[in-house]
Amino acid sequence: MTILRPQTGAIPLPIPGPISRPYWDGCRNGVLRFQRCLDCGSATHTPAQLCASCVSTNLEWADSCGRGEIYSFTVVWRPATPEFEIPYVPVIVTMEEGWWILANLIGCEHDAAEIGQKVEVEFHAVTGGTVLPYFRPLSQ
């Protein structure tokens, strides 16, 4: 069995843009952030200029509690590029605040992912010091 862990190779790294920079700054400080609409209260991700629910431009950054549950997953055996160690497990997580995020699952066996599994965010520095959010199953 393989225990999933953060990638250590020269994977492609995010290049923050003007809209997404606060998100990646949050990761570097160990906080998962999303955008909250000041008009309708809805959450938006990925970082945007418009609220996905009401098209308001009145968005502010909020801190997530970091917990959610697995919405879907896949176990990848043919890496996108050779730098990725296999297997790795992309997951979509439904966050408690009502938004979806894509990341990789770590801290469990590769065939342990289940839809509905409770997970929480964990930050890891990868190459070049970039900090990425990963998700780990919450112990029962």
Within 10 A of 110 (CB to CB), how many other CB atoms are there?
A: 17
- Using DSSP bridges, classify how beta strands 43-44 and 33-37 pair: parallel, antiparallel or unpaired: antiparallel
Alpha helices by DSSP H, listed for 46-113, are none
Q: How far apart are CA 60 and CA 11, in angstroms?
A: 30
Give the footprint of other proteins on residues 33-62 (CB under 8 A).
Answer: 45-46
125 part of the interface to other proteins, by CB under 8 A: no
36 or 132: CB nearest other proteins: 132
- Out of 84, 112, 122, 136, the only residue in the binding site for other proteins (CB under 8 A) is 84
44 forms beta bridges with 35
Q: How far apart are CA 10 and CA 126, in angstroms?
A: 8
- Out of 3, 115, 125, 138, the only residue in the binding site for other proteins (CB under 8 A) is 115
- Out of 17, 30, 41, 98, the only residue in the binding site for other proteins (CB under 8 A) is 17
**Which residues are near other proteins by CB under 8 A?**
7, 11-17, 20, 24, 45-46, 71-82, 84, 88, 90, 92, 100-104, 115, 126, 130, 132
